[in-house]
Structure 1
Amino acid sequence: MSIVTEVPAAASADALAHFESSLRFETDCWDVHSVMNTPDQDFVLLDVRGTEKYNAGHIPGAIDLAHRKIIAGKLAAYPAETVFITYCAGPHCNGAARAAIRLAKLGRPVKIMTGGITGWLDEGFELVSGAEAAAA
C-alpha cells in the first residue's frame, strides 16, 4: 500500500456524484475556447482581475468587470438566466471565486474557468490587449 492508496478511493457511485457535481461549479479553458464565437456560446465570460490587467492582456471576447465591481446594476442588461463564467490570473488567484460569490448572491448562474489566464496560455491560446480588443 502506498501513500496514494493509504486512503481508499471512493466508491464509484460517490466518485460519480462528486465529479458530476464539480462540473456544475467549474469549466476549463479548453471547453470555453471550443465554443467562443460560435452559435453554441451560451455564456458571458468575465475577466475579474481589474481594468489595468485586462488592458495588458485578456481572453478575446471577455468582458472587463472586476470582482469588486460586480453589482446588480452592472448586470441589468443581461437576462436573469445568463450564465457567467469568471476567470482571474490563475490557480494562485481567488478573484474568480470572489466574483462567483458576488454573482451567486445576486441570484445569477455562475461557473469558474479553472486555470484562468495561466491555464489559457498553457493551452496555447492567445490573449489580446486592450488596444487590440478595441480594434477588433
Structure 2
Amino acid sequence: MSERTRLTTVETVHEDRSWLFTFEDEYGEEDEAILVPCDDGVEAWINRCTHEAQRFDTGRGAAMRDGQIICPKHGSMFDTCSGYCDNGEAADTTLPAVDVAVTDGVVYLTDDDATFLHEGGTDEGDDDDGPTSTSHIGF
C-alpha cells in the first residue's frame, strides 16, 4: 500500500461540491482528479469525460446536479458514487477511479499509481478553460 497523502476534508468536498487536484501517474505524467460527494463520503475520478476527454472541472468546480457530474461539452451525466454514465455520448462508460480513503473526516490519496502534486489543475495554460464546443444545456 502506498503512503497516505492528506488531500482535504469530506466537509470541504460536500460544501464545495468538488475538489480538484493534480497528481503524477505511474508513467511520470501529470493528470487531474476530482473529489466529489458520495452519500456520506467522497469518491475520486479522473477529471475527464470518457467520450472526448473534456475536463469536468477547469478550476471553477465541476458542474453537478442530483448526485451526478455533468460533462460541459455534451451533457453526459456520471454518477458521483459509481462513475457510471447511462446517457448521452458517454453512455455505458465508467470514469477511471483514483483510490482515496477517509479517516476521521479527512480524505487521503491512497492510490499506488498516483503521487499528489498540488491542489488545483495542471499548469498547462489557460487554453482549456471551457468546452471546446457550445452546448445547448441549460441549468
TM-score, structure 2 normalization: 0.28
Q: In proportion to residue count, which structure has more helix?
A: 1
Q: In proportion to residue count, which structure has more strand?
A: 2
Which structure has the larger Rg over C-alpha atoms? 1
TM-score, structure 1 normalization: 0.29
